[in-house]
Amino acid sequence: MSDFRQQALDYHAFPKPGKISVELTTSAETAEDLSLAYSPGVAEPVREIAANPDDVYKYTAKGNLVAVITNGTAILGLGNLGPLASKPVMEGKALLFKRFANLDAVDIEVKHRTPEEFINTVANIADTFGGINLEDIKAPECFEIEKELKQRCNIPVFHDDQHGTAIVTAAAMINALDIQGKKIEESKIVCMGAGAAAIACMELLIKCGALREKIYMLDRKGVIHTRRDDINEYKQRFANNTDQRTLQDVICGADVFVGVSGPNVLGADDVKLMAPNPVIFACSNPDPEINPDLAHSVRDDLIMATGRSDYPNQVNNVLCFPFIFRGALDVRATDINDEMKVAAVNAIRAIAKLPVPESVLKASGYESLDFGKNYIIPKPMDPRLLKSVAGAVARAAIATGVAQIELPEDYML
């Protein structure tokens, strides 16, 4: 681990600090180039945009530019370490946007005293960008922040910790249930955790067919039930009318366990209580809710996923967010709505069922991968994600009326 720590520090420090930079897209070699790039030539697109604001997409980089914005109140699994400490994560997000979807992204870290100040700051700069990716903002403030910004901005605003996690989780979950011979609408689901990611995951699973009354959500005080008076409006949606109070109560006969909480909260004896052919997603990072080796030691009929790359079935947001924004920006969507999220779920699911290209096997370090218990979701390096997910999202945006332009016939060819 000490070697890895130093490798990570060196990666960020060399050959020069950070992971992103700005590149020029046009010539700037001659006096004529400079006269076109700046004064006096730049006045011409200024006049055009002033007369027709949509021309900003024609003459500037707005349509390919994403802002990755945070306040640093929920950095990875490290907690509230402040905006400056979040900068490596936001630069990393910008790197992923560029690497996987050729989207330019800049990181913005905001200091503020109240959520309203944060909302005002972001809303006031939003027109600079084609889309806004919110990141590492703690619950429950993140819900209100995203809601207000979606109302105030005419570009897509997407809190990836909520919806990116939910999309990838739903895609992997439905595939896992298919393999286990189960239907999502008949499955009993236990969710350990009640923060932003947990609530978004469960809401999207419901949109994909899960029944709210079959979902049992737990926070630090146990099962969220209708007789509790200490839960916020977001947890209230999952308050179950039940006498069960503990994880051990609700895990009995459960088909699915989803963990977005903390390490080692699910025991081997708990796993033994689950229904035949269970599905466990232990997504706490870096240490999951239960070690996969321990879970498999007590159940040989299990499908297991984690957030880690060193175990099969990694639930990783990079499978989704670059392509969600690519599709949304390519049709100038004003929103990323539920229909676009479900379209992304189905596109990701479908790729896992296709033969895996040799290039993906090589990049992922596998000799072979076939749809099944140890391969329920595509690998991040799969080049088919870009065309499939971005295309599905763009078409859903058009179908639901949030797109401002049509897709070209040769899109992604």
pLDDT-derived band at 286 (thresholds 50, 70, 90) equals: confident
Rounded distance between C-alpha atoms, residue 193 and residue 199, angstroms:
8
pLDDT of residue 77: 77
pLDDT-derived band at 375 (thresholds 50, 70, 90) equals: very high
Alpha helices in 273-337 (DSSP H): 292-298, 321-330
Rounded distance between C-alpha atoms, residue 232 and residue 130, angstroms:
33
* Mean pLDDT within 375-381: 95
CB 328, CB 340: distance < 8 Å: yes
Cis peptide before 15 (omega within 30 of 0): yes
pLDDT of residue 409: 85
CB 287, CB 296: distance < 8 Å: no
pLDDT-derived band at 262 (thresholds 50, 70, 90) equals: confident
Q: What separation in angstroms does the CA of 243 have from each of 54, 166, 222, 223?
A: 57, 28, 12, 9
Alpha helices in 196-291 (DSSP H): 196-207, 233-236, 247-251, 268-272
Q: What separation in angstroms does the CA of 172 have from each of 161, 317, 336?
A: 16, 12, 21
pLDDT of residue 1: 66
pLDDT of residue 20: 94
* Mean pLDDT within 213-231: 94
On the question of pLDDT at 54 being above 80, the answer is: yes
On the question of pLDDT at 87 being above 90, the answer is: yes
pLDDT of residue 98: 97
Higher pLDDT, 242 or 2: 242
pLDDT, tens only, 399-411: 999 999 999 888 8
Q: What separation in angstroms does the CA of 32 have from each of 29, 37, 40, 283?
A: 8, 9, 10, 55
**Token pair belonging to 300:** 């040989």
Rounded distance between C-alpha atoms, residue 32 and residue 41, angstroms:
9
Which residues are bridge partners to 305 per DSSP? 281
Q: Which residues are catalytic?
A: 38, 93
CB 135, CB 105: distance < 8 Å: no
Rounded distance between C-alpha atoms, residue 142 and residue 145, angstroms:
5
With a pLDDT cut of 90, the percent of the chain lying above it is: 90
Best CA proximity match to 135, nearest among 111, 107, 166: 107
On the question of pLDDT at 301 being above 70, the answer is: yes
On the question of pLDDT at 19 being above 90, the answer is: yes
Mean pLDDT of the chain: 95
* Mean pLDDT within 141-149: 96
Which residues are bridge partners to 79 per DSSP? 75
